[in-house]
């Protein structure tokens, strides 16, 4: 199934600006829906299991809302729902969004001169056939020393408070201090393109 195909509709189950941008870059048209879930209530021992479970929970919440509104049942063409989640792993510990500015600052100080990994999941559901599948993608990120004043600027600006692990590698403040990325930037930003493309093809 080629990109831009009009034989199916796509719902992106995320309010993330970065995910919307990535899916647009892939050539797809889509609508956006998001669902609030209690992420803290979902716990798994392995981060790979957690990140897929979080995306699945988002998908289930959106499907529940759709069923209440009966918005897709009469559609002739299949509707594909894409949900995603990202967590950061630092020294074996899972990091989600910082609780506040102090935690965000500490996260950034930890990354300075060190490294972290992101785990990004994609969970795709075909609302017509019932097909459901989720997988994950891992990226390793290595940093140069990050000056305190750069960390302070990032924290005060506030964007780092809204992302897993306070980790934004595409931000112009932080970009000069990114030493190496083993994997793809789109995965770090929240939607691994290759994985999304593959799951979409399987879902059709």
The mean per-residue pLDDT over the stretch 41-48 comes to 88
Q: What is the per-residue pLDDT for 37?
A: 87
Residue 51 lies in a domain: yes
The mean per-residue pLDDT over the stretch 55-78 comes to 81
Residue 3 lies in a domain: no
Q: What is the per-residue pLDDT for 35?
A: 82
CA dist 89 and 78 (Å) reads: 36
CA dist 38 and 142 (Å) reads: 31
The mean per-residue pLDDT over the stretch 81-85 comes to 97
Q: What is the per-residue pLDDT for 71?
A: 54
Number of structural domains the chain divides into: 1
What residue numbers bound the domain in which 22 lies? 9-203
- When pLDDT is cut at 50, 70 and 90, the band that residue 2 belongs to is very low
Residue 32 lies in a domain: yes
Q: Which residues pair with 120 in a beta bridge?
A: 86, 137
CA dist 169 and 140 (Å) reads: 12
Question: Residue 72's domain is classified under what CATH number?
Answer: 3.90.950.10
CA dist 16 and 34 (Å) reads: 9
Q: What is the per-residue pLDDT for 41?
A: 82
Residue 140 lies in a domain: yes
Residue 74 pLDDT exceeds 70? no
Residue 72 pLDDT exceeds 60? no
Residue 160 lies in a domain: yes
Residue-wise pLDDT for 156-195, tens only, equals: 999 999 898 999 898 999 999 999 999 999 999 999 999 9
CA dist 162 and 63 (Å) reads: 24
Read out DSSP for 26-40?
A: TT---EE------GG
Residue 70 pLDDT exceeds 60? yes
| Phi, psi torsion values for 108, nearest 5 degrees | -65, -40
**Mean of all residue pLDDT scores within the chain:** 91
CA dist 82 and 204 (Å) reads: 12
- The single residue of 85, 110, 137, 186 carrying the catalytic annotation is 85
Residue 127 pLDDT exceeds 50? yes
- When pLDDT is cut at 50, 70 and 90, the band that residue 96 belongs to is confident
Residue 71 lies in a domain: yes
Contacts of 106 (CB under 8 A, 6+ apart): none
Show the DSSP H helices in the chain as ranges.
17-25, 47-69, 101-111, 148-157, 185-189, 193-203
Residue 18 lies in a domain: yes
Count of CB atoms within 10 A of residue 176's CB?
Answer: 9
- Which helix (H) or strand (E) element contains residue 133? strand 132-143
CA dist 47 and 26 (Å) reads: 27
Count of CB atoms within 10 A of residue 161's CB?
Answer: 16
Q: Is 85 a catalytic residue?
A: yes
pTM of the model: 0.89
Q: What is the per-residue pLDDT for 43?
A: 86
Q: At what angle do helices 17-25 and 193-203 cross, to 10 degrees?
A: 70
Residue 4 lies in a domain: no
- When pLDDT is cut at 50, 70 and 90, the band that residue 21 belongs to is very high
């Amino acid at each position: 199934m080629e990109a831009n195909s009009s034989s199916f509709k796509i719902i992106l189950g995320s309010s993330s600006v970065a995910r919307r941008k990535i899916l647009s870059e892939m050539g797809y048209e889509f609508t956006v829906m998001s669902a609030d879930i209690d992420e803290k209530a979902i716990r798994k021992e392995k981060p790979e299991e957690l990140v897929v479970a979080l995306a699945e929970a988002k998908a289930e919440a959106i499907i529940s809302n759709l069923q209440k509104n009966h918005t897709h049942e009469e559609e002739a063409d299949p509707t594909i729902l894409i949900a995603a989640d990202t967590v950061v792993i630092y020294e074996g510990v899972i990091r989600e969004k910082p609780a506040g500015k102090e935690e965000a600052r500490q996260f950034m100080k930890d990354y300075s001169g060190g490294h972290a990994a992101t785990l990004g999941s994609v969970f795709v559901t075909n609302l017509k056939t019932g097909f459901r599948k989720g997988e994950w993608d891992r990226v390793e990120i290595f940093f140069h020393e990050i000056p305190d004043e750069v960390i302070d600027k990032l924290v005060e600006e506030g964007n780092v408070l809204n992302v897993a692990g306070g980790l934004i590698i595409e931000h112009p403040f932080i970009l000069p201090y990114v030493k190496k990325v083993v994997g793809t930037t789109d995965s770090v930003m929240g939607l691994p393109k290759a994985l999304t493309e593959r799951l979409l093809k399987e879902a059709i």
